[in-house]
């Protein structure tokens, strides 16, 4: 658990120092997750903003890009949901209000302080991770 806090702290320091390397942030934020296969997503503004918001949040406590922790892996979420406006709104609502039952019995805690716009941006990032 300390590794996650250290990784998040390092990522926050890099963001504060003005690091422009999205690929470097992604590597630290996902704890050495293999790089995405396919097109370079780091140039996508939805990818950049979503990654930044997730790095500043507590999301990485329960989720990783490719590996189930307490919650599902982001790639599993991306595989389950198409990137439609309806799904983005649905999933953003679950981030804000919390939820349970779709991925098991452990509920996701509500994140009431996350704005709807930020939650949607986070979801857009996650859905871009589809294999």
**What is the percent of the chain with per-residue pLDDT over 70, rounded to a whole number?**
70
Q: Convert the pLDDT of each residue in 11-31 to its tens digit.
A: 555 444 444 444 444 444 444
User: What pLDDT is attached to residue 1?
Assistant: 61
Q: The tokens 């790639």 sit on which residue?
A: 75
CATH code, 112:
1.10.760.10
pLDDT tier at 64, thresholds 50, 70, 90: very high
Residue 44: which domain range? 2-127
Q: Print burial letters for 43-64: b (CB count within 10 Å at least 16), e (below 16).
A: ebebbbbbbbbbbebebbeebb
Look at the chain and report how many structural domains it folds into. Answer: 1
Nearest-5° Cα angle at 89, 20 to 95: 70
């Amino acid at each position: 658990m300390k590794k996650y806090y250290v990784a998040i702290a390092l990522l926050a320091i890099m963001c504060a120092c003005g690091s422009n390397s999205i690929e470097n942030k992604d590597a630290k934020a996902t704890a050495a997750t293999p790089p995405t296969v396919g097109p370079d997503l780091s140039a996508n503004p939805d990818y950049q903003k979503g990654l930044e918001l997730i790095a500043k949040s507590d999301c990485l406590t329960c989720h990783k890009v490719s590996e189930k922790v307490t919650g599902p892996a982001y790639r599993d979420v991306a595989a389950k949901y198409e990137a439609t406006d309806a799904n983005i709104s649905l999933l953003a609502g679950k981030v804000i209000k919390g939820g349970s039952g779709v991925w098991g019995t452990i509920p996701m805690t509500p994140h009431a302080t996350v704005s709807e716009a930020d939650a949607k941006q986070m979801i857009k990032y996650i859905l871009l991770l589809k294999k």
